[in-house]
Structure 1
Amino acid sequence: MKTLLILRHAEAGHSFTGDDHARTLTERGPSQARQVGRWLAQSQHLPEMTVVSTAMRTRQTCIWINHELGEKAPTPYLDERLYQASSSVLCSVINETPESVHTLLVVAHMPGVQDLSTQLASQDSAEHAVLEMATHWPPAGLAVFTVTKPWAELDGRDAALATFV
């Protein structure tokens, strides 16, 4: 069994220059990301691989998560396809994950993270978690899925949403 962690970046500020890609975290953002890192460490959902959008706010989120994970943090892989990606693009990136990876963390953006999570949630998902995830996905919101099939075959209604943090 594998674990898929889908994370929306922590709270980001507004772009006054029009450069959305360069938006940085707000004062609350690092704290939110560190809380995610602590939760991952305490819950034993330690990522073996992390794939991150190239946007500044997602990279900063990953830095603060890895700060909390310390030596257990994998080196993040920056993937430009994740910047403002649709659910289908996010899924295709996940499909490329090597089968040797048992826990994958994806750090990306709304609405793609929510759309993909809604698409992946199987009938075996925790109903309360699905309702919460589908109605309100705050900054640093994290969906935790259990996956039983190969990464390359993941496409829809085939991962159980265990919890939404």
Structure 2
Amino acid sequence: MKTLTLLRHAKSGWDDKVVRDVDRPLNSKGKRAAACVGRHWRDLRLSFDHVVASPAVRVHETIAELSSGYGETIAPVVDRRIYLASAVTLLDVIHELPEGAERVLMIGHNPGLEDLVLMLVPDKASDALRDTVEEKFPTASTAELTFDGAWVEVAQNTATLTRFIRPRDLDPALGPDQD
């Protein structure tokens, strides 16, 4: 059984004067959320034998903060296709994952990650986790999917969503800002 863990980058800063979107950094709340998620992953004993990530600065800052909470360095293979990718492009990346990899972590962006989960996980009336993803896939959230078969066989409605973790579920202060 293959396991794919999807992580949306943590909350980025819009106040920084950057010319290119790819260079946008995390804000302080994003840094706290990524470290919190990393600590939770450590408590869950999550592990990965292959990591692939977008080249965006906010993704790499998420990885650095996540690693500090997780207690281990996370060293991704950077794949430019993941930057602001559609679900279809992300599926192409999945099809090319190393077959020997059993537990893969992919770190990227929305709406592609959310759309990917909704494409791969069948829409059943009793799937509360999928419904939560459909409501919103917030920054620094984790979706874990499992598949039978090879990466190249991953297709629409072939996944099981086994967990969905939002930072606000770990620490209410990491939830949406209040007006």
Shift of 1:2: 2.0
Q: Is the 8 A contact 1:121 1:158 kept in 2?
A: yes
CA distance, structure 2, for counterparts of residue 80 and residue 129 of structure 1: 29
User: Partner letter of residue 25 of structure 2?
Assistant: T
Where in structure 2 are the equivalents of 1:152-163 lying within 5 Å? 152-163=152-163
- Aligned 1:75-86 pairs, distance under 5 A: 75-86=75-86
8 Å Cα contact 1:10-1:139 kept in structure 2:
yes
Question: Highest CA radius of gyration, 1 or 2?
Answer: 2
Q: What is the SS of the residue equivalent to 2:7? A: strand
**Matched residues, number:** 164
Deviation, structure 1 residue 125: 10
Shift of 1:124: 7.8
Quote the residue 2:171 is aligned against.
none
Q: Which residue of 1 aligns with 2:4?
A: 4
Question: Are the counterparts in 2 of residues 125 and 161 from structure 1 also a CA contact under 8 Å?
Answer: no
Alignment of 1:66-145 (within 5 A): 66-71=67-72, 73-122=73-122, 127-145=127-145
Q: Which moved more, 1:128-137 or 1:10-19?
A: 10-19
Tell me by how many angstroms 1:67 deviates. Answer: 2.3
Match of 1:46 in 2: 47
> Which consecutive residues of structure 1, in runs of 5 or more, have no partner in the other structure?
none
Matches within 5 A, 1:14-53: 14=14, 16-53=17-54
Deviation at 1:70, TM superposition (A): 3.1
Q: 1:70 to 1:127 in 2, by over 3 A?
A: same
Q: 1:82 to 1:98 in 2, by over 3 A?
A: same
For the 8 Å contact 2:35–2:70, the answer to whether it is kept is: no
Write the letter of the residue equivalent to 1:141: S
- Give 1:75 shift: 2.1
Which moves more between the two structures, 42-51 or 53-62? 42-51
Q: Which moved more, 1:30-39 or 1:46-55?
A: 30-39
Matched with 1:57 is: 58
Q: Which deviates more, 30-39 or 151-160?
A: 30-39
Deviations for 1:16-36, whole angstroms, at most 9, x for unmatched residues?
444111000000111111122
Structure 2, unaligned stretches of length 5 or more? Answer: 166-179
Q: What is the identity, as a one-letter code, of the residue corresponding to 1:107?
A: I
Say if 1:121 and 1:144 are closer, same or farther in 2 by CA, change over 3 A: same
What amino acid maps onto 1:132 in structure 2? T
| Structure 1 CA distance for aligned equivalents of residues 157 and 45 of structure 2 | 25
Give the Cα separation in 2 of the matches to 1:46 and 1:122.
25
Tell me, yes or no, if the aligned pair for 2:18 and 2:24 is still in contact at 8 Å.
no
Identity %: 32
- What residue identity is the alignment partner of 2:68? H
Which residue type is aligned with residue 106 of structure 2? V
